[in-house]
Amino acid sequence: DYPLDKLEIILGDDRSGDRTWEILEDWQRQKDHVHIMKISECNPEKMNGKANALAQMAEKSQGSLLLFT
């Protein structure tokens, strides 16, 4: 019941080799509040893997409350 005009969902593809990006594109086409990111840069000295992807998505976020899973 959360108002969709206040909801922002950011989904990321962290260099997967399957159909993840294609599936995310389909989601984005169906939902105005869904944004997608292709995570292509990674600096292992700073962050790697999921932490890197979450940090990049958090930078893109415009909300004041973030939830990560």
Condensed to tens digits (0 to 9), the pLDDT of residues 45-68 reads 777 788 888 988 999 999 888 998
pLDDT at 25: 96
Q: Side chain identity at 51, as an amino acid letter?
A: A
pLDDT at 18: 94
Rounded Cα–Cα distance for residues 58 and 12 (Å)? 11
